[in-house]
Structures are given as C-alpha cells and as structure tokens.
Chains A and B, each alone.
Chain A
Amino acid sequence: MSANFSVPLDLSEEQILTLAPDESSKKSGKDLANPSKWVSKAISARALWGECQGSGSKPYQTQIELTNLAFKCSCPSRKFPCKHGLGLLLLSARQPGLFQHSEEPAWVSEWLNKRIEKEEKLAEKKDSAKPVDEAAQAKRQQARQQKVGDGVAELLLWIKDMIRSGIHALPGKTSGWWENMERRMVDAQAPGLANMVRTLGNTNFYKEGWQSECIEQLLRIYLLISGYRHLDRQDPLLQADINSQLGFTINQEELKGSEGVLDTWLVLGKQSSEDQGITTERYWLFGATTRRYALILQFLVRGQGAQLSLTPGLSIRAELVFFPSAAPLRALIRRQINVRELGSGRSLTQSPQITNVCPPDEPLSGSPGADSSAEGQGFANWKELTDSTTATVSVLPFDGPRPYIVRSLTPVLQGQQWWLKDEEQTLMPIKENFRPIGKVLSLGGGEPLDMALIGKDRMFEPIGVWHDRQYKII
C-alpha cells in the first residue's frame, strides 16, 4: 500500500490528543477508542472511517481524511474534531490491525469528492473573481489611514503626558483608565495599538523591576508610532511590519499568491492564550532544509471549530508563505502536501527503535524532503543567538517573541533562578515561574540537551528538547 495512508496511524496517542478541543473531548475520545463501540471501521488510501453506535437509532458515521487530517462526523456535536473522530483516530493508532483496507463506501467517497470539488471551485472562484474597484478601495484605505493617524496622535499625546508627570503614578491607575485608551485605539481602527496598550496596562506593578518592563513596552509603542509617522521614509518591508503591528490586515488569499517556501516543517510547539473570548493559537515551526523559523497563527472564537490542527512533534511537508516583514516570521500554509510523522513523541505508543526526529545537528532520517545534512541547524551557543537577535532588532526594533533552537544547553540554578548554560559557559535566564523545569531536568539528567525555545525580552522558555533521538514536547 502507499505510504501515504498508513501515516496517521503512526501518530502517537499523545499527539492525537493534542487535536482535542478540550479535556472532556479527550476523555470521551479515549472511551471511544474501543473496538466494541464501532459497528464498522475501515481504511483506504485516502481516508479512515467507521460507524459508532451512539444514543441515536442510527450509528454515527465518522470519517477522517488522511492527507490533511480533516474530520467529519454525522453526530450533532459542535466540537471539532468531535469525540468520535478522536476515538476513531486513537483506535487506529492503538490497534491498526483492526482496520481492513477496503473500498470507500458512498458516504465517504462523496465527502472526499466534495472536498476536492470545493477546493477546485475555490481555485476557480479566485481566478474568476470580480475585478476590485481600486478607486473605492483606495478611498476606504485613505479614510482608515486618517483615522489611524488621528489615533496615533492621540496616543502619543497620552504617552507624553505620562512621561511628563512620571510613571510613578501608573500603579495607582484604575483598569478603566487603561481600558479607555484601549477603546480609543479600537475606535481609531488600530487594534494592534489597542493590544499594546492593554499589555502596558497589564504590567505587574507589584513585581520588582516593573519600571523597566513598563518603560520597555512604552518605548515599543513609541517606536511603532514614530515609524508610522514617518512611514513613507521606511523600507517597504518595515512599512509592512508597522502596518501589521498597528492592526492593518493583509488579504490572505492575495498573500497566498506570493512565492512560497516548500520545506518539511517540524512543529516545535503550540501555545494558546485566551483573551476576551478569542483564543490565539501559536504554532512554532522550523524548516528542516531552509532552517527557517515560522509562526502560524490561528484565532478562534469560542465554540468555533479550528481550521488548522498541527501536532507538536509532527513534521508537515508544506509550502508556507511568509507575511512581508523586515524579519519574516509569521506565515500561513499555502499548501500542505502530506501529514508526516517523524516519530517524535512516540514514547508512549511505539517501540523505541522507530526512527525519530533527530537532534538539530543530525540528518532528519526518514524524511525524503529534508536536507540529509542538517549540520549547523540551530544555534551552537548563546553568542550566536544574540548576534542573530541583534541583526533582527537592527531591522525590526519592536519585535515580539521568536523561536530558536540552541544546541547543548544545561539548566543551572543561580540566585534562586534557573538559567540555561551553553557549552561556552554563558548563561541565559529561563522565563520566571517556568513550571516544567522538572521535565527538562529529568530528561537531561545533568547532561546538555538540544532545545527549542521561545525567547522574549532576553528570557527563554523551553518548548521541546531532543532526548534519545526523539523530539519531546515540554
């Protein structure tokens, strides 16, 4: 059989469970990973399907497209994927032998064909899209620029008032005071600035050293404002960064028309945060051949199904399009060729001898698209990393968190805080209150580990390590 369709069965239980929308789905999915719950189950080159006896008179029809791990189920659940989808996938991971290769029944092939048709239609629609009324668009754009410009001027005045009277008074400000300016920025159609003001207001004023943290955020806002005030004098890529930071969106369909970067991308980690009912999912990726880092963002409104579900520890063969930037990081997936598991995170379900994701300085075995010689992937020491951040800061002064792979790091305790020491004996601090430090220590056992980290404000948060030739999520 083709290597394609057996791939998702190589997913470990841990990896499949990261697809679950919530804890109860995980639990129910596990309950359903039981052969007795399934009236029928089978697999083809394109899909995996099964019928699960639920509370209704007819069994629910659950189907999973294997190429992009898309789910569909006839159950009434609004969760995505539903417990039946998770249960079926878990069952296939636990007992692949139970799934007979067979012809797709009509309800499966219809769905798969519809998906193909939909994609084709979308492509056609794109080709035959109505011509854009450029004049009207320019007018709208100009009106918005005006609004944003007014907002920026108002925010600058607010900051200057703050600087004139001193930031010592800030800890006493009510939440309403901060929210007022945040709302003003939303009204000025500069949601990016609104977010930055919110972050400023969320400064922990009870923490020692709040002054530095607060002034740094103020200066980030100021730099962005200054950049916007002199936008026409900036490099076009920096202009794109400024607009993006202010909250101007980019037409993603148009962006997909730009040149893409095809690579095998290892999903280094996933971070989720929720604010005002919107969940932001950040997927941190690393390209095996291009050695580029990427950030894929997904915004979810409560109850809405996720369009994208990447599993940390998995690699995807995909073409990414980077958002225009002086130091590109954010990207979107233009084309995903296949879901491919490189074996990491299998420790719980698969035998240890299976090929796994190799440390960054070794070839990624078993990945035909990957560079067989990955020598030099990741940074050898902190000096290399800070040189890189210096280069980034010199072109993009208000940069956010970024992922890094650094080789041979050992956690050491110094002054009640954990640091990461490289082979040159230099140290960088681990993010405060980093709870999984125990896992990092335990995996390393006092020996250095190659690590994937998220760095922000000279603090680093490990998100994964290479241990026993496997990439393990922290």
Chain B
Amino acid sequence: MTSSWNNILHTALLGTGKQPLRPEELGEDLSPIAAQIDTSTQDKEEKFLQIAALAFNYRQAGFIPQRNESAQLSKPAAEDKPYCSPQAMQALAGILEEENTSLFALWLQLCRDSGQLARPEILPTLLQLGITHKHLREDILTCGGQRARWLATLNPDWSTLPASEDTAEQQWQTGTPEQRREVLQQLHKSDPAKALQWLQATWAHEDINSKIDLLRALSANAGPIDLPFLEDLLGDKSKKIREEVTLLLKKIPSSSLIGQYSAALQQRLKLKKEKSLLGMLSKTTLEVAPPADGQELSPTLVQSGIEKLSNRKEFSDEEFICYQLMSYIPLDFYTTLWQKTPEEVVKLFNDDPLGKKLIPALVLSTVHFAEPKHAVPLMQFSSTFYLDLLPLLQPRQQEYYSNKFFATSPDAIIQYSTRRQTEWGLELTESIFRHVSKDSYRYNRTFFNKIVTLIPVGAAALLDKVQSDVISTGGVGAWASISNAIRKLLQLKTQTIQAFNK
C-alpha cells in the first residue's frame, strides 16, 4: 500500500497535467476499481481525486499496527521507601504553583529527612525543575527515588542530573565542562581523595581553561589532602594556574604559603611589656617593627598578593603588611605563639591602640577560615560589633546579637539574617516586619519569597499586630498586600511541615 500511496503523492506533487495516475500503479486490490474509474468520462482531475479517495479510505480502513517484540521499556528498581501522603503532595502542588523555590527546597528536605518519596505523577515536574535549580538536584533525586533516576535516563533533558555514581564517572569522562566541574565538586565534597585521583589522572590532558575551572571546583572544600597536588602546581608555567592555586592555598591553614605568612608576621608583630604607675604595674602592648635582619618581604609573598606599600593612611607600610598577612592567618597562630586564650588575644588587640586598628584583620581571617570558635570572643571582647561574624555564631547567639544591634544597623542585620540556616526568633521577626513595613519597595514580595523558610510559622499573628500598628500610624501602602503574600507562604509552610510530621 505504501508504494501505491507514494505513487498518488508523486502524481499529486507534479500535477495531473504532467503525470496522470495509472490504475496499475495502485496494487492488485485497488487497480481493478481504479481501472473502472479511469474508463469513465470524467476529467483527469476528477478521476485522480476519486482514485486517491479510494486509496485513502482503503489505507484508513486497512491499517495494521506494526509488530515489534524487541521494542521494550526498561523498568526502575523497586522503591525501598514509602510514598509521601496526599497532604504532602497537596502542599507541594501549592508550592509549585507559587513557584517558591525556598519552600520547594524545604519540602524536599523534609521529604528526604522523613525517608519518604514524592509520588510518581509529580516526578517529571520535579526533574524539569532540577534542570534550572542545580542546588536542588540531589534532593530531587533522593525524593524521586528509583523511579526518578530511571526517568532521568529516558529523557535527554534530564540526563545532566547526577543519576548514579556510574553516571557521575561517565559524566566526568565524557560530559560537558560544566557537568565535569559539578561532578568533581560533588565528589570532592564527599570523597576528596577520589576527586583528586580523578583530577590528577586527566590533568595533563586538560587545557588551561578547563584546569582553572576544575581547580575552582576544589575551592568549596579545599583541605590538607589537596596540598601535595596544589603545591606542586605552584611551579606550573601558567601564571593563571599559579594564581588560582595561590587562592586555594590561602584557604588551607596548613599550607606552606600560610606558613610563610605566619613567619613574616612573626618577624614584624611583637609583644612589648611596658611598666606603668611608677613601675608598679606592667602592661603588654603590640608593636610592629621591620624584621630584625632587615629582610624585605619575600618575592613569593609579594606574588601571592601582599602589597609592600600601604594604601591606607592610618597604616604605615609595615603595619599594612601585617594587616594583610593577618587576614590570612588563623587566630590559633597567636594563641600558640603567645600562649594566650583566644579571649586574651582579642582583649589584647582591643586594649591596644595599634591592635584596635588590626582587629578587622582578625575578623577577616576568622570569616575567611570560617572559624566559629573564634567568632564568639571577637564578638564578646571587641568594642566594635562586626556583622561579618554573625553567620559564624550559634543560632541562639546570632539571634541574641541580631536583636541587640537591630536598632543600630537594621538593614545590615536583615541582610545577614537572610543568610541564616535556622528560623528567626519571633522577636527578631517582629523587628524585621516593623522595619520592612516602612520600606516595601526594597523588601518586596520577591524578598519574602526567598526567605520565607526563615520566618517562623507562628509569625502570622505578628503580621496582624504589625499591620494594625502600621494602620494606626497612617500608612499601609504595599505592606498590606505583602503581608497577605507572607501569610499565604506561611500557610504553605505550615501545611508542608504538618504533612511530614504525621
């Protein structure tokens, strides 16, 4: 039938004016009837249309579906976790409709932590979201179970998802630069030794840009295990690679570079004992002086980014060198060197005019190495409040300091509060609501969409309280609609939490 139909199409394409359709071209079933039509007195076009209509109906009526036993669909492995409740699915549907990524992440986290799975009907939507929300991919696959991993193998769009370790290795071998960087970063987090092994195996074959890209993948979790490989690369002929490696070495306190920084600082920053009150009391002060041997800053340190000349008027050149070095030296250096507790070190700096100038460098290094244990003394014993340290504190301490300093730096506190991992307390939430109700342009719906997971579910009552206060002071503006939006998000959050608490 196919060839008969093709003959009809061929004639139709060229036109009956050029090539009439011959009945014998229609196969043995149709040609006798076509021959009868052909002998009629009608015009060529009518004959063609009648014969073609006959073939069209014959084709429609006699359609036989093709048989193929080899065409098979694989099956996913059996799930070993239960599906989540319909209530959880309803909450998820609401979240997806609101397009709220924060609540979506919360839903996935609760689903994952409760050891449940998202139901099959939603999996394609979740996998599709995994394409744009890379940070959620792992949770999506965990909550999607075996079926999501199986689905990901059936759609090329979802193939970038890290479906399994095999796929990860495959992606490392043959993936796009972006996929390779991501796979390396993930592996470096979970199994740094293996990640290094993979990287070293292909290092010689990578081009410069890939090398830089891959080195950046190590940045989030750079540690002592990476040192031999990285320090070896300090002799690389590419300046770009050396610079990238230097950045990484600055993140590892036990690196030789930080060791050189520490040595250079030790030569310049000294403790000096001074007598006061007619020699009855002694006081320890800080002193910055050029190295005793008169040696200049080594070229290695200069190349690593340490400036020799001060660009800040409050610092002399030597002080400025110390300030820069201190920004990359952990606070443990001073406690070991001077046999003092972290609190004593901070006090020492705080009580000394020169030390006061250098305290920001201690803060920078504490933030740089993310050392929570040193953040507390810096908060407690420094006369200045350093907001940068807030994220390093325990949630309760963050809450305490945020409340304490909210009135003086509300916007900065809000900015830091948005980076918190845990929910805000009600007192801080109320302060934030009150502040943002006056600045709806800056703190709009988009802002709250992003941070809704930080707002405690009990804050809905605060919204009413704040709203009535705002109304009584004569201004409502956009806050009314924003607070309604927050209420709705909180409702979804409550629904989600309750669905997984059952």
Q: A residues bordering B, Cβ < 8 Å?
A: 13-14, 26-27, 30-31, 34, 159-160, 163-168, 211-212, 215-216, 218-219, 222-223, 226, 346-352, 382-383, 386, 389-390, 393-394, 397, 410-414, 419, 421-422, 424-428, 436, 438-439, 441-443, 445-447, 458, 467, 472
Contact = CB atoms under 8 A, between A and B. Distances in A.
A28 B128 CA distance: 26
Contacts of B333: none
Contacts of A426: 65-68
B132 to A, nearest CB: 16
B298 interface: no
B12 A163 contact: yes
B443 to A, nearest CB: 21
B27 interface: no
Given A226-B53, A458-B63, A212 B71 contact: no
A386 B59 CA distance: 11
Given A413-B73, A425-B68, A445-B75, A160 B14 contact: no
B191 interface: no
A218 B14 CA distance: 15
A83 to B, nearest CB: 14
Secondary structure type dominating chain B contacts? helix
21 contacts: A31-B484, A160-B43, A163-B16, A163-B45, A164-B17, A164-B44, A164-B45, A168-B15, A211-B9, A211-B12, A215-B12, A223-B57, A226-B50, A382-B65, A393-B61, A410-B73, A411-B73, A421-B68, A425-B67, A441-B151, A467-B120
A160 B15 CA distance: 10
A143 B121 CA distance: 55
Contacts of A350: 86
A80 to B, nearest CB: 22
B76 A445 contact: yes
A121 to B, nearest CB: 42
Contacts of B74: 446
Contact of A160 (B46, B62, B94): B46
B154 interface: yes
Nearest to B128: A438
B114 interface: no
Nearest to B74: A446
Nearest to A168: B13
B121 A443 contact: yes
Contacts of A346: 86
Contacts of B76: 445-446
A386 B63 contact: yes
B53 A167 contact: no
A31 B121 CA distance: 25
Contacts of B151: 438, 441-442
B60 A393 contact: yes
Contacts of B484: 31
Contacts of A472: 121
A333 to B, nearest CB: 29
Nearest to A474: B121
B60 A427 contact: no
CB-based closest 3 A-B pairs = A166-B15, A438-B124, A446-B75
B499 to A, nearest CB: 11
A116 B363 CA distance: 79
B65 A412 contact: no
Nearest to B126: A442
B49 A442 contact: no
B315 interface: no
B68 A347 contact: no
A456 to B, nearest CB: 11
Which residue of B52, B56, B147 has the most chain A CB atoms within 10 A of its CB atom?
A: B56
Nearest to A169: B15
A439 B147 CA distance: 11
B66 A427 contact: yes
A219 B121 contact: no
B93 interface: yes
Contacts of A447: 75
Which residue of B8, B60, B61, B150 has the most chain A CB atoms within 10 A of its CB atom?
A: B60
Contact of A212 (B5, B48, B61, B65): B5
B73 A442 contact: no
Interface string B3-22: 00100110011111110000
Interface in B64-86: 64-69, 71-76, 86
Given A166-B14, A222-B52, A445-B120, 12 more contacts: A26-B97, A164-B16, A164-B45, A166-B17, A211-B9, A219-B52, A386-B65, A390-B62, A419-B71, A425-B67, A436-B124, A442-B120
Contacts of A348: 86, 89-90, 93
Which residue of B72, B127, B155 has the most chain A CB atoms within 10 A of its CB atom?
A: B72
A447 B73 CA distance: 9
A215 B67 contact: no
A389 B48 contact: no
Nearest to A215: B12
B457 interface: no
B86 A349 contact: yes
A417 to B, nearest CB: 11
Contacts of B67: 424-427
Contacts of B90: 13, 348-349
Which residue of B65, B94, B484 has the most chain A CB atoms within 10 A of its CB atom?
A: B65
Given A412-B73, A443-B120, A438 B49 contact: no
A443 to B, nearest CB: 5
Contacts of A439: 121, 124
A445 B150 contact: yes
Interface string B134-178: 000000000000010011001100000000000000000000000
A272 B9 CA distance: 33
Nearest to B89: A348
Nearest to A426: B65
Contacts of B121: 347, 439, 442-443, 467, 472
A163 B49 contact: yes
Interface string B354-368: 000000000000000
A412 B15 contact: no
A442 B123 contact: yes
A27 B124 CA distance: 23
Given A212-B5, A421-B71, A445-B76, A352 B86 contact: yes
A215 B127 contact: no
Interface in B115-129: 119-121, 123-124, 127-128
A438 B8 CA distance: 38
B264 to A, nearest CB: 59
A442 B65 contact: no
Contacts of A223: 53, 56-57
Interface in B81-116: 86, 89-90, 93-94, 97
B49 A347 contact: no
Nearest to B158: A438
A219 B154 contact: no
A347 B8 contact: no
A216 B56 contact: yes
A445 B50 CA distance: 47
A294 to B, nearest CB: 22
Contacts of A30: 94, 97
Contact of B56 (A160, A219, A445, A458): A219
B373 interface: no
A442 B124 contact: yes
Given A414-B71, A445-B75, A215 B8 contact: yes
A222 B75 contact: no
Nearest to A211: B9
Interface in B419-470: none
Contacts of A27: 97
A397 B48 CA distance: 17
B340 interface: no
Contact of B154 (A383, A390, A413, A427): A413
Nearest to A352: B86
B13 A14 contact: no
A426 to B, nearest CB: 4
Contacts of B68: 412, 414, 421, 425-427
